[in-house]
Amino acid sequence: MSIFITGSTGYIGSYVVEKLLREHKNPLALLVRARNEDEAKKKLWKALQLHMPFDEFISFYESRIKVYLGDLTKHDLGLLGGIKEQLVDDMNSIIHVAASLNRKSDKACFNNNLRGTLHVIKLAMASNKRRKLKRFSEVSTAAVAGVRQDELVLENAMIDWDRSDYDPYARTKKFCEYMAHELLEDIPKTIFRPSIVLGDSRFPQTTQFDMVRAFVTLSKLPVLPFNKNWRADIVPANFVAKAIVDIHQKDRTLFESYNLSAGSASLTFEQIVEVLSEHRGSKPPVFIPMLDPLASALVRQLANTPKWMGVSRLFSLMKVFWPYLNFNTVFDNSRVRQELDLVPEPFDQYAYELSKFAQDGQFNYAYKPWPDGA
């Protein structure tokens, strides 16, 4: 029986798939957004090459992976009659990773996150009617905690419906959790809430650059409009994937939701920029928290400048992440420590190698093409 996984061509999904392939025996049924199987196979190779050479990929692909061409936003995920029935019969658990992380677009978040998750939940219900599903896991985000300031948010206090949210991404992900909770009453569920996922603590390579770019840019500024003691909750992708897979594969779990975060061990801005500047041999920025309101306004202005000025992309990115940088909020991770005795590697232990890799490649990953004749 297969594990049905959405989002396998994305950053975190590729980690989850790799870990399941290497450490477990289940066949994997992957929902891939592609026009045909050939395109799907190439998308999967692109995502998985961070983790394995081509020969190994093909060997796993042929022996353990079945691709379902589909789209979260389509009714029944776009799976036509017979194919949907085949999937419903074949799966015995689900890891729903896919989402739109487009914090600027209501439309993308509503369609992919809300409608998409509803479609995955309906599939889970159909499958559970035939044979009890072992588990439904939903990859959510610590952003569901909403607008906060200077807090260590405990896991049982993450959802507060009276609180505002920073963006449509956070709001829709919160409602996705609610749908899973309310509609899948008789299926064991786990909700995973990663904080800021940055790189891998075992190697410098990454294929996701947005937040790396944000931190590298900040560390190069002469002045930072933050308090040096504010903290940012950052975890590596290998920690997130280990927690998701190890907990998903358990017969019983201690809790229904888990923060995948650094919690009270999160580093301060001073520690983060120090490690990034020290290795560069430059002086770390000076912290002047009084400048925060001015800097926020400037970031908003620069994000709206015409494209030809060349700064709007970087500052649009800064604008959406800004609330998550200056809210000085971290997320307690007691549950994953209790369940797996697992803590994330501190960011300063791998930040330099990650930032060097990102800058050397100008914040791009040099993807290997599909080999000729393969």
The angle subtended at Cα 15 by Cα 346 and Cα 329, nearest 5°, is 40
Is residue 86 within 8 A of residue 67, CB to CB? The reply is: no
Amino acid at 373: G
* 8 A C-beta contact, residue 265 and residue 343: yes
- Residue 114 contacts ligand NAP per CB under 6 A: no
Question: Which class for 333: exposed (0-12), middle (13-18), buried (19 or more C-beta within 10 A)?
Answer: buried
Q: How many angstroms from the chain centroid is the CA of residue 180?
A: 18
Which string of x and - marks every residue 262-281 that binds ligand NAP (by CB under 6 A)? --------------------
Q: Of the listed pieces 54-62, 93-101, 119-127, 246-254, which binds ligand NAP according to CB under 6 A?
A: 93-101
Q: Is residue 206 close enough to count as binding ligand NAP by CB under 6 A? A: no
CB atoms within 10 A of CB 127: 22
Structure tokens at 70: 């589909």
Q: Would you count residue 44 as binding ligand NAP (CB under 6 A)?
A: no
* Candidate ranges 83-91, 151-159, 192-200, 241-249; the one touching ligand NAP (CB under 6 A): 192-200
7 binds ligand NAP (CB under 6 A): yes
- DSSP annotation of 291: G
Residue 99 binds ligand NAP, judged by CB under 6 A = yes
- Determine the interface stretch with ligand NAP among 4-12, 222-230, 346-354, 363-371 (rule: CB under 6 A): 4-12
What three-state secondary structure class fits 27? coil
Beta carbon nearer to ligand NAP, 267 or 284: 267
Count, residues near ligand NAP per rule CB under 6 A: 27
Q: Are 38 and 123 in contact (CB under 8 A)?
A: no
* 139 binds ligand NAP, rule: CB under 6 A: yes
Angle at 372 between CA 371 and CA 374, to 5 degrees: 70
Answer yes or no whether residue 236 interacts with ligand NAP by CB under 6 A.
Answer: no
Q: Distance between CA atoms of 347 and 269, rounded to whole angstroms? A: 11
**Complex with ligand NAP: residue 103 or 228, whichever CB lies closer:** 103
167 is a site residue for ligand NAP (CB under 6 A): no
Question: Which residue in the set 2, 3, 5, 12 belongs to the binding site for ligand NAP (CB under 6 A)?
Answer: 12
When CB distances to ligand NAP are compared, the closest residue is 10
Interaction of residue 10 with ligand NAP, rule CB under 6 A:
yes
In angstroms, what is the minimal distance from the CB of 53 to ligand NAP?
21
Region of 95-103, 248-256, 304-312, 348-356 interacting with ligand NAP (CB under 6 A): 95-103
- As a whole number of angstroms, the distance between CA 216 and CA 199 comes to 13
77: alpha, beta or left? (left if phi > 0; alpha if psi -120 to 50): left
- 65 φ/ψ angles, rounded to the nearest 5 degrees: -110, 135
The full length of the chain comes to 374
13 binds ligand NAP (CB under 6 A): yes
333 touching ligand NAP, by CB under 6 A: no
From candidates 2, 49, 93, 100, binder to ligand NAP by CB under 6 A: 100
Kindly state the smallest distance separating residue 272's Cβ from ligand NAP, in Å: 16
Structure-block tokens of residue 286: 């000076």
Chain Cα centroid distance, residue 118:
19
Write down the least CB distance from residue 293 to ligand NAP, Å: 26
Q: Which residues bind ligand NAP (CB under 6 A)?
A: 6-7, 9-13, 31, 33, 43, 71-73, 97-101, 112, 116, 139, 141, 173, 194, 196-197, 208
